[in-house]
């Protein structure tokens, strides 16, 4: 065991110069990076989603998107290509860097910008926006512009959303109003086309039908009575020997008009227009009869008729006139009853059609009332959003110009250089021993050949070989001194600045 320790100690002393070079290179590189890396300033602002200040029962159409969803939408809007390029150009974020394409600008802006959302049950929804820049003022200005974009977009979204809702319900109200007007016109036209069979007048038609039926029955009874009376008069006249004279049409008409005139004079005065007309017609008929040689009181042979015969003829004429009137009245009554019967039979179908139209009108009226109420609520939502009393995003903490750089952590960078140098030096020693399979000790010979040697003679190295070995060590050391800084410079220049790379590595390991 002591022999092994002495061996490794001697080996350590042998390789110590190279290990010291490796350690010194990386330690110096770490210290140099810590001293030369440009400072990075980080400004941040905190936004919070405030709940609505309006009572729940008044928020019918307030545009109240889920808070987390709202902030996620805002995050996507902030990270759009146009926004990032505009902010980079406005604040000259990359003024010292040349040859950057728009794609490079967008990629770098997204790397330098950090947006963090914090939400949870029974917790406020918070957005933290931060930006990393080599200039303190630039970092604060960029973050404040981000905040301005968020607040402006939030206000526009809320007002536009409630305005769109109001416009929609305005259109709904106008559409339902037009539908109601057209439906009302349909109902009026339908009622006009079926005015004789409307259901609301069915009771009146039934009572009128009963009245007409009673009138028809009465007319039948009166006709039967008059026909019976006429038959009796004829029978009495024949039995008494009173001849019946067949009156001419003019005589019959004259008799009817005289009877009508007598009835009118019993009611009206002689100056009444109706009486005057009847007298004129009677005079006209008499003149016509005088011209034709016919007299009201002559029989077929020209002798005067008896008083009894005249009275009989007058009674018969009156009965015939009443019979004719009742028959005409019966015809009119039957026609009216037929119209009523048709109207009564049509009423159920008319009622069904009218009910369908009125039901559609009532449905439209309900929708109209709902649309009007919704429009009022939407208008209230517009007023709420305009007054900024609804759910909105507000600034909890404005971004201020940082007084000290946020990165790099110079102590950490220097310590990292020391750690890397130590680790690489130890790796050089360990790997060199693991990869070296040459026989340098008696125990190595025993392990390789499986025999116990009696005596061992050490390897005597020639001066030329020793010189070659020293040259190789020197070349390797110089190569390491050149290659390692060159590799770090290439990473810093062509891939990612070392401070950002270190931050990314620290974030990945959770430091």
Q: Give the CATH number, domain containing residue 421.
A: 3.30.1890.10
Stated pTM of the model: 0.47
Residue 308's nearest CA partner among 231, 240, 226, 228 is 240
Cα(49)–Cα(393) distance, integer angstroms:
4
Residue 507 belongs to a domain: no
Q: Answer with the one of 333, 349, 374 that is the final residue of a domain.
A: 374
> 410 and 369, same structural domain?
no
Can you read off the two tokens belonging to residue 18?
């190279």
> Contact 289/254 with Cβ under 8 angstroms?
yes
> Where among 374, 398, 418 does a domain terminate?
374
CA distance 191 to 187: 6
Binned average pLDDT, 10 residues per bin, the chain of 511 residues:
66 77 80 75 87 51 60 85 90 80 90 84 81 88 90 76 72 88 90 84 84 86 83 74 57 72 69 79 79 55 51 76 83 86 86 88 90 80 58 81 78 83 84 68 65 66 79 78 75 71 60 47
- Kindly write down the DSSP assignment for every residue of 490-507, as one continuous string: HIIIII--HHHHHHHHHH
Q: Is 169 within a domain?
A: no
Domain containing 84 equals: 2-162+390-460
In this structure, what token pair is assigned to residue 472?
């190789």
With contact defined as beta carbons under 8 Å apart, do 168 and 374 qualify? no
Query: Residues 211, 250: contact at Cβ < 8 Å?
Result: no
Quick one: 412 and 280 in the same domain? no
Rg (CA), the chain: 62
119 and 221 assigned to the same domain = no
Domain count across the chain: 2
Q: Report cis status (omega within 30 of 0) of the bond before 408.
A: yes
Integer CA distances (angstroms), 142 to 38, 131, 146, in order: 19, 7, 6
Is 114 strand, coil or helix?
strand
- Asked if 13 and 124 sit in the same domain, the reply is yes
**Structural domain includes residue 497:** no
Helix/strand/coil percentages in the chain, nearest 5: 70, 10, 20
Residue 168 lies in a domain: no
Q: Measured between alpha carbons, how far is residue 436 from residues 1, 428, 432, 468 in Å?
A: 20, 12, 6, 18
- The pLDDT value recorded for residue 145 is 92
First to last CA, the chain: 41
Are residues 402 and 430 both part of a single domain? yes
Q: Are residues 368 and 397 in the same domain?
A: no
If asked whether residues 28 and 157 sit together in one domain, one would say yes
Nearest-angstrom CA–CA distance, 115 and 80: 13
Please indicate, yes or no, whether residues 396 and 359 belong to a single structural domain of this protein.
Answer: no
Q: What is the DSSP string of 413-441?
A: HHHHHHHHHHHHHHHHHHHHHHH-----S
Coil, strand or helix: which one is 59? coil
Q: Are residues 66 and 149 in the same domain?
A: yes
Answer yes or no: is 192 within a domain: no
| 133 and 127 Cβ atoms separated by less than 8 Å | no
How many residues are there in the chain?
511
Whether residue 170 is contained in a domain is answered as: no
Q: Is residue 245 part of a domain?
A: yes
301 with 424, same domain: the answer is: no
Same domain, 61 and 152: yes
CA distance linking residue 492 with residue 496, whole number of Å = 5
Q: What is the pLDDT of residue 442?
A: 64
Domain final position from 421, 445, 460:
460
Q: Which of these, 69, 67, 48, lies nearest to 129 by C-alpha position? A: 48
CA angle 86, 90, 93 (to 5 degrees): 95
Q: Residue 306 domain-assigned?
A: yes
Cross-strand partners of 49: 393
Name residue 117's beta-bridge partners: 127
Element of type H or E holding 252: helix 249-265
**Neighbouring residues of 252: CB distance < 8 A, sequence distance ≥ 6:** 317
215 plus 118 within the same structural domain = no
The closest of 52, 46, 45 to 388, measured between CA atoms, is 52
Measured CA to CA, the distance from residue 16 to residue 28 in angstroms comes to: 18
In degrees, rounded to 5, the angle at the alpha carbon of residue 362 between the alpha carbons of residues 360 and 367 is 95
- Collapsed DSSP state (helix, strand, coil) of residue 359: helix
Query: Where are the alpha helices (H) located in 37-101, listed in sequence order?
Result: 67-78, 81-90
H or E segment and range at residue 123? strand 123-133
């Amino acid at each position: 065991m002591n022999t092994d320790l002495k061996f490794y100690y001697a080996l350590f002393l042998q390789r110590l110069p190279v290990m010291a070079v490796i350690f010194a290179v990386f330690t110096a590189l770490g210290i140099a990076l810590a001293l030369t890396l440009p400072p990075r300033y980080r400004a941040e602002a905190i936004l919070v989603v405030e709940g609505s200040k309006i009572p729940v029962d008044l928020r019918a159409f307030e545009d109240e998107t889920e808070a987390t969803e709202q902030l996620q939408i805002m995050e996507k809007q902030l990270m759009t290509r146009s926004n990032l390029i505009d902010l980079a150009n406005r604040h000259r974020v990359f003024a010292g860097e040349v040859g950057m394409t728009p794609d490079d600008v967008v990629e770098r802006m997204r790397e330098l910008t950090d947006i963090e959302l914090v939400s949870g049950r029974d917790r406020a929804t918070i957005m933290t926006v931060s930006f990393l820049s080599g200039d303190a003022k630039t970092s604060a200005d960029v973050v404040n512009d981000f905040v301005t974009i968020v607040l402006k977009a939030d206000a526009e979204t809320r007002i536009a959303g409630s305005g769109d809702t109001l416009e929609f319900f305005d259109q709904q109200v106008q559409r339902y109003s037009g539908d109601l007007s057209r439906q009302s016109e349909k109902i009026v036209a339908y009622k006009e086309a079926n005015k004789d069979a409307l259901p609301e007048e069915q009771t009146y038609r039934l009572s009128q039908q009963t009245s007409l039926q009673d009138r028809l029955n009465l007319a039948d009874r009166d006709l039967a009575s008059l026909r019976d009376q006429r038959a009796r008069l004829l029978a009495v006249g024949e039995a008494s020997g009173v001849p019946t004279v067949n009156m001419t049409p003019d005589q019959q008409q004259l008799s009817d008009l005289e009877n009508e005139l007598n009835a009118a004079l019993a009611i009206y005065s002689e100056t009444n227009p109706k009486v005057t007309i009847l007298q004129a017609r009677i005079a006209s008929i008499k003149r016509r009869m005088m011209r034709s040689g016919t007299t009201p009181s002559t029989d077929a042979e020209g002798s005067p008729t008896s008083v009894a015969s005249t009275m009989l003829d007058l009674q018969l004429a009156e009965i015939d006139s009443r019979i004719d009137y009742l028959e005409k009245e019966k015809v009119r009554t039957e026609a009216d009853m037929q119209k009523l019967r048709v109207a009564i039979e049509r009423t159920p179908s008319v009622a069904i059609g009218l009910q369908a139209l009125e039901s559609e009108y009532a449905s439209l009226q309900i929708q109209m009332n709902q649309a009007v109420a919704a429009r009022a609520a939407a208008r209230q939502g517009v007023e709420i959003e305009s007054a900024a009393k609804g759910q909105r995003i507000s600034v909890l903490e404005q971004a201020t110009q940082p007084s000290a750089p946020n990165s790099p952590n110079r102590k950490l960078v220097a310590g990292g250089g020391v750690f890397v140098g130590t680790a690489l030096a130890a790796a050089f020693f360990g790997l060199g021993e693991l990869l070296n399979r040459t026989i340098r000790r008696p125990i190595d010979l025993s392990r390789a050949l499986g025999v116990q040697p009696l005596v061992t003679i050490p390897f005597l190295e020639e001066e030329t070989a020793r010189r070659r070995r020293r040259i190789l060590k020197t070349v390797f050391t110089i190569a390491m001194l050149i290659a390692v800084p060159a590799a770090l410079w290439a990473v810093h220049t062509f891939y990612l600045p070392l401070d950002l790379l270190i931050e990314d590595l620290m974030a990945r390991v959770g430091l």
